[in-house]
Amino acid sequence: MKIYILRHGETALNSKGVMQGWFDEPLNENGRNLAVLTGQALKGIKFDHCISSPLIRAMETAEIVLRESENTVEIKTDDRIREMNFGDMDGRSLSEMGEEGYKFYMDPFHFDGFPNGEKIQDVCNRTQSFLKELAAGDDGKTYLISTHGCAMRAMVSYLKEDPADFWGGRAPYNCSFTIIEAEGGKAHITDIDKVYYDSSLIVDHYKQ
């Protein structure tokens, strides 16, 4: 069983380096272009199933990647893989929170969470419930999972050698993949932050 976990393409808020959680915004032109290039590079891979976060940017990315890779599977949605709820900080810069905001990247498991939002452990609980359930099924199929940066890191953190190293030094790039293989209900990571487009197009909007 192979699971391609995809972070959505760029949005206008991504390009400004601000927080985008449950704020529902479509891809921008660059985001759509990255999704097209990614899908074209994936021609030859047959996806048997596709599951997406219900947020527009994840759905739109999945639609483009499937179309360009010549896959015609139905896109299903699961609320468990939507992005972290950033609460009052949605659409705002993390720097506005000062030292506490810095902790979100440097020590996320001891970060107290966003006002009226979620904590990292909340996101881990729901996204890992999704991945563990999927991997336990081990149907031998290939899945495309379209999600978000923090949700992606949370989903796979329990599979890392050091689960406390949540971010791995950065947020996932737009239209990058974490790839999982599962057999006998046991999952392991085979690739992290893999891009299928020219690496010169990578932009890290959230580097510290």
Tell me the three-class secondary structure of 19-48, residue by residue. Answer: CCCCCCCCECHHHHHHHHHHHHHCCCCCCC
pTM: 0.96
**What pLDDT was estimated at residue 90?**
92
pLDDT band at 187 (very low <50, low <70, confident <90, very high): very high
Angle at 67 between CA 16 and CA 134, to 5 degrees: 80
pLDDT band at 102 (very low <50, low <70, confident <90, very high): confident
- DSSP structure class, residue 130: H
Strands of the 186-194 sheet, one edge to the other: 75-77, 49-52, 142-147, 2-7, 177-183, 186-194
The pLDDT of 85-94, averaged and rounded, is: 91
**What pLDDT was estimated at residue 207?**
57
Query: Is residue 200 pLDDT above 70, yes or no?
Result: yes
Q: What are the residue boundaries of the structural domains of the chain, listed by start?
A: 2-200
Active site residue 49: no
CATH superfamily of 2-200: Phosphoglycerate mutase-like (3.40.50.1240)
Neighbours of 128 (CB within 10 A): 17
**What pLDDT was estimated at residue 118?**
95
Active site residue 83: yes
**8, 10, 118, 148: the active-site residue:** 8
**What pLDDT was estimated at residue 206?**
63
Determine the residue type at 144.
Answer: L
Q: What is the rounded CA–CA span in Å between residue 144 and residue 45?
A: 10
**10, 83, 118, 148: the active-site residue:** 83
The pLDDT of 72-92, averaged and rounded, is: 96
**What pLDDT was estimated at residue 59?**
98
pLDDT tens per residue across span 132-171 = 999 999 899 999 999 999 999 999 999 999 999 999 999 9
